[in-house]
Structure formats: structure tokens, C-alpha cells
Structure 1
Amino acid sequence: IPAGTLLGQTIGWRWAFGVMSLISVALLVWARLTLPALSAPGAAARQPLLTVLRLPGLRTALLAMFLFVLAHNVLYTYIEPFAALAGAAGWLDRLLLVFGVASLVGIWITGVWVDRGLGLLVVASTLGFIVAALALACWPGSPAVLVAATVVWGLAFGGVATQFQTAVARRAGEAADIAQSFVVTGWNLAIALGGVAGGVMLETVGERWLPVALLAVLVAALAVVLRQPRAWQPVLP
């Protein structure tokens, strides 16, 4: 994304999309030539969607994921007007770099602990995001708080895709491929609704209230996470 932005600023946004198209074509050719052919899934993996959705713990994991990603995108989509409250509009690129680096650390932490403590990771990520949102809600005009909260936010967000995908795969078993389609649909729906909700807030109550909306959604997400602990536990054979 930063590379695409730089390219667009340098030679124009049309060329950025053109380069993206060329890379996509190259990726298609590379995938066709190098990826192995896989056998068709067995009958156990070809289950109806509603049957998969009824698997114990699956809906809990999907709902928690949806709420977390919804909260993230309410603020992330409109981070520029919110950052302007703290006078950070001029160094927004560096703020997003901080978020990205913190997210990479969050991914690494998740990679180390996901097999041994998935439930703890999900709770910690949700609580961390709540702390960041609370700080931004209380001190929206402070640059120092903005930077610190962005670090915590990035740490919390970095590994959640892996965390929720792992939880869904565990609960779904042989139907994991079908269950992952729910992950993709829910994730993208949360992105879209987060953008809509944030835009409506900007037009009505203003960017100062974005973190307050995050808090409400994240508290609901934490309640979902804590309500059914087995959603984050390995499925016993």
C-alpha cells in the first residue's frame, strides 16, 4: 500500500492501477505453473453451509471476528480526520508506519502462542484494542496519546486474522474450507459497514466520537469472546 501510494504520487494513480494489473497477471501465470493440483475434497468436507455454521463455537468465533474488524475499520478508514485533532495530519504516514510495525510484532506474538494459548491471545487482543480506544476517546487531542494508542492498537490488530482463522478451522474440522468462506465474507462485510458507520458519524457527530463507538463495539466483542471459552479451545478427537 505505501509503495502504491508513492507510485501514484510520482507518476499518477492510473499507472499505479496499471502496475497492479500487470502484477496480478504475473501472479496468475506463476500460480498456474507452480502450484500443485489437489484432489477434490471428500464427502465429509462437502457439508451444507448451514450445517457448518451450526458447529459448536463457530458462530461465536465469527461474531467476535466481525465485531473486532468492524470496530477497527470505523477508525482506520477515517484515521486522517481523527489524527488531525492531535495535529498529526502532517505526519500521518509515519503514524501509519508505526501502526504497521506494531502489527508485525503482533503477528509474531500470535505465531509463537497461537497453538498454546489461542483464547488468551483473543482476549488480550480485544482488551488491548479497548485500552487504545479508551485512551483515544479520553484524550483525542494529544499527539503522545495518539502515538501510544496506535502502537497498542497495532499490536492488538496484527494477529487477529490468524487468531480467528485458527479458531474457525479448529471448530470446523474437515469442513474448514467452507468455514473459511464465512471468515472472508464476514471480514469484508465488517470492512464495508465500518466505512459506512464511520462516514455517518463524521457527517453527524464528528470524528471525535469515533473511538467512543469503538468502545461500544469492542465491549460487545469481549462479551462474546468470554461467553463461550470452548470456541477458542482445540477440538478433542
Structure 2
Amino acid sequence: MTSESAPNGQGCVRILDAAAEKGPRRTQAVPLKQEIRAAPVGRHLPLPALLVMALMGFILIATETMPAGLLPHIAAGLNIAEGTAGQLVSAYALGTVVLTIPAIALTRGMRRKPVFLVGILGFLLANTIAAFSADIVLTLAVRFAAGAFSGLLWGMLAGYARRITAPELAGRALAIASIGTPLGLALGTPLGSWLGSTFDWRWSFWALTGMAILTAILAWLLVPDAPGQRAESQIPMLKVFAIPGVSVILLVIFAWMLAHNTVYTYIAAYLRSANIPLGVDVALVVFGASALIGIWITGALIDRAPWLLVLVSLSVFLTAGVVFFAGAHSLVAVLIALVLWGVAFGGAAPQLQTAISEASGENADVANSLLGVAFNVAIFAAGVLGAVLITSFDGMVLPLLMIGLAATALIIAFTARRAAFPVHR
């Protein structure tokens, strides 16, 4: 039997059966499982467009975490308690959790570039109002809206980056588009805090607004358009969750990100317990710089050995927890642990987004919105869990939590290689 395949107008493959040379060829249509992509211009990475997406990711992360470093200044500026000012972070996360899935479901069939631009402009407007606002209720409302636009952008960026890239380079493209995440954590939050502390907290929001304007212009000029999901391939949200592998990947990301965010949020408590001469700002810079190494490694290997890469990253993350605990009173050991932690975490986003995109096929945007919700639920849970732990114990409990959750995620990823984490793409 010989066969040849070519996509037809229905998104199907015609299988040409020529088993009998004397008989006529028969055709049979079967559904395509692979994600339909916009035809790439060439076999090279669309680097300018991917860097624009990375810049947007930087803005999203910086906007989400920046108020945590400015709570006293925001509280004084709005004449409220610090605890109330802290709800700016909670309102943002709540907007992401509540509205991400409906927003993605509403827009998944639309052209990608217009949706991307609307998301950027909505985010820009929310930050602008926050910079102007003198009322805490209005500020909380626009933070909630910013979280919703953030969820829309996070949910679509992975699929968008893959649609404008040749299939064999999709993983690498996603790694480049994800560079903004560690940069936002390592540089965006400290720079925003410095700017707000040196001048006024509103300047931090104005800076984010300026960056959003720049991103909108660059997106308009440099990012190509791509089609949305075909209507006939759209399935209900619950069925996306039930796709083999999707729920497993969500469980891995929740365990992994719960461990990461608990340690990241309360790293100051750990450093106090370790009693070493290392400031939080320096620790986070070391972590962020190491995360860039992790993204570089991920970009080089993700299209070749995605499952092995996830296992190695989780193993390095677990090792970092062990070094944090065993070498707590050694500056050198803690610095090594910070490097291992950053390298392991740096590639986590593209690794998991690639896995869930491959598992969900044409429903990748919806699946990635579920991933974003899982990430933000982990952030919320980390804040609560970490507060309980450091109140009942001390900062040394955080590495133990890191070890336990990393081991859990590693076991799940190891046993789910068929459905969730294929050995090869």
C-alpha cells in the first residue's frame, strides 16, 4: 500500500489507497489531530514578533507583582491600611482566575492580532486609570480588569507564538516568547519598587503604561496576524479539561508553581532564618539571571526531548530545595541553590505550555487559559500557605515544602509520559 497526504479544505487528510493497481484509487477523510497553523513565511524564527510577545510578558509579570514592593507608599498615597493596599495583588489575581476562561472562550475563533492588540490596549487603560485614581474602590476595580486582560493575553500568547512559527521550531519560539517572565520577576518588580520609592508610587504605573504603548506600536508593526480556532474544532471547556494529558499537566504546574511561589513570596523569611549576609534584592537578581540560563537551555532542547527536559528541570528544582535546607547557614550553598532554582524555573513556562499545547491540539488557547488559571490559583494558595507556615514555624520550613511538592510533580510527570509529556515531539 502506498499513501500520500495533503490537507484539504475541510481540515482533513485524504489517504490514497492504491493497494490494487488495477482498481481506482479510493479516498477516505479522517480528522486532523494536529493544530492548524498559519503558514509561516519561512523556516526561520519570527524573532521580532516573539520579542514583542516577550516584552508583553515582562509587563504582565511586573504589573502583577509590583504593588507588593510598594505597599507602604500606596497605602500612604491612598490613605488606607497596608493590608488594604495588599488587595491590589489579590484583585489582579482574582480577575485572572474569574475571567480568563470566559475571555478565551469568547475570542478563540477570532483573528489573533486584533485580539492581541485589544488585550494590550485594555491593559494599558487599566494601568493608566490606576495611576490617576485616588479612590481605592476604583483602583481595585481596574486591578481586577487588568487581571482579566492579563489572563486573556497569557491564554493566547502560547498558541499565537506557535501559529506564526514553523512546526519544528515551535518549542524554541515559545521559549523566546517566555523570556519576559523571569525578567519581570528579576528586574521588573525591583525596578518598579525603586521607581515608586524614589519618586512616587504612581510613577511605577506610568512606566508600565509607557511600556504598554510601546508594545502596542511594535505589535502593530512587527507581529503578523494568524487565524483563530476553526469553529468546527471548538469543543466545550470541560471537554478540553478532559483531553488526555491536560488535567495531568495542570496538576504538575499547580504543584510546581505552588512550591515556587511560596518560596519566592517568603524568601525574606528563609534568609532571616538562614542568618546569612544576603539581601532579598540580591537573591532575586541571582535567581532571575539564572532563569535566563534556564530559558536558553529550554530553547535549545525543547523540540528534541521535551519529556526529559521537564524531568531534569523538576529534578534540579528539587535539588535546589535540598541545598536550601542542608546548606542554609552557608552563603555559598544558598547562592548555589538560588542558581539551581532559577535555572530549573526559567524553562518551566515554555516546557509546560508546549506540553499542554501538544496535548490539546487545536484547543491550545483554551488549554493554555486553564494553565494560566492553575498558575494564579497556585499564587493565591502560596500566599495563604506560606503565611500559615512561617507563622507556625520559621523560614526553614519553606525548603521542605519545596522538596515535597517538587517530588510530587516529578513522579506525576514521570508516570504520564504517554498522554501528557511525550518523549519526542
TM-score, normalising length: structure 2: 0.52
Distance 1:89 1:125 in 2: 28
Amino acid at match of 2:256: F
1:124-177 CA-partner distances (Å, limit 9, x unpaired): 111111111012122322212110100011110000100000000000111111
1:119 corresponds to:
307
Is structure 2 residue 362 aligned with structure 1 residue 200?
no
1:77 corresponds to:
265
2:410 corresponds to:
222
Report the CA distance shift for 1:118/1:38 in structure 2 as closer, same or farther (over 3 A).
closer
Amino acid at match of 1:72: H
Distance 1:56 1:90 in 2: 45
Report the CA distance shift for 1:123/1:133 in structure 2 as closer, same or farther (over 3 A).
same
Is structure 2 residue 288 aligned with structure 1 residue 105?
no
Report the CA distance shift for 1:213/1:30 in structure 2 as closer, same or farther (over 3 A).
same
Distance 1:85 1:204 in 2: 14
The list of structure 1 runs, each at least 4 consecutive aligned residues, that deviate by more than 6 angstroms after superposition, is none
Amino acid at match of 2:421: W
Is structure 2 residue 421 aligned with structure 1 residue 232?
yes
Report the CA distance shift for 1:79/1:22 in structure 2 as closer, same or farther (over 3 A).
same
1:171 corresponds to:
359
Distance 2:424 2:237 in 1: 20
Distance 2:232 2:371 in 1: 20
Distance 1:106 1:235 in 2: 20
Amino acid at match of 1:202: I
Distance 1:97 1:58 in 2: 33
Please list, as runs of the form range in 1=range in 2, the aligned pairs for 1:1-237 lying within 5 A after superposition: 1=188, 2-28=190-216, 31=219, 35=223, 38-88=226-276, 91-230=279-418, 231-233=420-422
Distance 2:201 2:298 in 1: 35
Distance 1:161 1:225 in 2: 15
Give the CA deviation at 1:98: 1.3
Query: For the aligned residues, what is the CA RMSD?
Result: 2.1
Q: More helix per residue: 1 or 2?
A: 1
Report the CA distance shift for 1:89/1:4 in structure 2 as closer, same or farther (over 3 A).
farther
1:23-71 CA-partner distances (Å, limit 9, x unpaired): 3355446546765554442124421111111111111111111110110
Amino acid at match of 1:162: P
Amino acid at match of 1:233: P
Higher Rg? 2
SS class of match (1:127): helix
How many aligned residue pairs are there?
236
1:88-124 CA-partner distances (Å, limit 9, x unpaired): 4653322221111110000000000001111111101
Distance 2:296 2:372 in 1: 22
Amino acid at match of 2:408: A
Distance 1:130 1:21 in 2: 38
Give the CA deviation at 1:9: 2.7
SS class of match (2:303): coil
Answer yes or no: is the 8 Å Cα contact 1:114–1:121 preserved in 2: yes
Answer yes or no: is the 8 Å Cα contact 2:290–2:339 preserved in 1: yes
Structure 2 unaligned runs (5+)? Answer: 1-187
Q: Percent identity?
A: 35
Answer yes or no: is the 8 Å Cα contact 2:304–2:424 preserved in 1: no
Distance 1:45 1:109 in 2: 34
Answer yes or no: is the 8 Å Cα contact 2:271–2:395 preserved in 1: no
Answer yes or no: is the 8 Å Cα contact 1:44–1:174 preserved in 2: no
Distance 1:235 1:113 in 2: 11
TM-score, normalising length: structure 1: 0.91
2:73 corresponds to:
none
Answer yes or no: is the 8 Å Cα contact 1:95–1:150 preserved in 2: yes
Report the CA distance shift for 1:121/1:134 in structure 2 as closer, same or farther (over 3 A).
same
SS class of match (1:123): helix
